Structure 1
Amino acid sequence: MGDVIPAPAAPRIPVHSDTDPGTFPVRRIYCVGRNFADHAREMGASAPAGKADRGRPVFFLKPADAVVVNGQTPYPPGTGELHHEVELVVALGADAPPGELPVEHAGPLIYGYALGLDLTRRDLQAAAKAKGLPWDTGKSFDFAAPVGALVPANELGALSGRTIALAVNGEIRQRGSLDDLIWSVPEILHELSKLYALRAGDLVFMGTPAGVGPLRPGDAFEATLDGLPPLSGTILPPIG
């Protein structure tokens, strides 16, 4: 017996590599909230003074088909306050073993890195927060995850000291150092493994520095991170 409807194709991200060109099929998208102290404070949340008082990381998900690979991103319905959040994206190339993943074993799971935008319907998120309700509609919607080309981890090298930034219409809006992440990539994979079965094809958006702000139809954006291909695009008029 076959499928009763056509099976949707997996979203695919281009791989920028001299030795391993191709595409990366996306299985699932995990996102980390409040992983830069300056962004946590600008959103009205407390930020830890050090690792000892970090508590637990904040996670949410986006649908895999929210991925946008050509940068052409329609303005979403239901909002008047679309915000940008530039982020490092981690792509997993292997399944995690069953059970809790030790921090020191996280590295071999990583296939590569890319730039991404965690687009947010801020007004919907804020309204849900104010009522103590889940804010999925603020984060999970069509075209909510523009992603740039992946670079294999062994070609990019260490993340320390690298700067991530976002410009809108040529003006820098966000800039931060990956050294300022509250939770490192291996630590986040360790924490996610306590809640989910991590698999090849998963993406992890690692959180955004301060400076989030509005995007409007016609705006051009460019995200950069040392060693990665830029992520460029335009906010299009709403569909329909």
Structure 2
Amino acid sequence: MFLVGLTGGIATGKSTVATIFRDLRCPLIDADVEAREVVLPGKPAWRKIKQLFGDEFLLPDGTLDREKLGRVIFSDPYKRKLLNSITHPEIQKAIMWKLLTFFVKGCSYVILDLPLLFESGSLVKYMTRVIVVTCDEDLQLQRLTARDRLTNDEALQRIRAQLPLAEKCKQASHVIINNGTQEETRNQVNTIYHSLYHSKSHWKLRIILFGMTTLLFVGVIFIFQFATIFY
């Protein structure tokens, strides 16, 4: 099984691309979903956030006030780094368990929807391929202000908190340009899907694991036979 990173910039349309991959029945793990789950009330990450940031960032039902917390972390790099240091390890643990499940099911690849793949850096080395979703900067700004009801300055602040799209595209195996219609985007996704479907990259790992398992089995048999000689 090999890993495919799916990333992009904020409001470039990565979620749309992820939905298309799901429609094609691709195995996909959404880091945003995992990020919401690890900060649910009572979870270890939630307790650390409450301790370090304070009760003022909690809603009456105990859940995080994501809007208020977002305004703080996007204006304060130190607090953004602090929050990431709390949530990222928990998110990675949750992802590892899901990867194990997909491996047991015999999936040849898994797409990891990781908004901050390059910014966090820790998972890039495990990706066999990386898909970057991009769009024109003006369109990105327009989408973000409309989606999150932000001013231009607030939207630009969030865009600039991430690695520039041009830098991400340079490190990509595939680039999806999401400037046009959904049908145009879907056609680009279909091309990548067929490339993943016909890839043989997963056999490398399976051959290595098969070899290790065989050696272990032979070793156990040898030890058993050696022990019975002297019994």
Computing the radius of gyration from Cα coordinates, the structure with the larger value is 2
* Structure-2-length-normalised TM-score: 0.25
* Structure-1-length-normalised TM-score: 0.25
Q: Which has the higher strand share?
A: 1
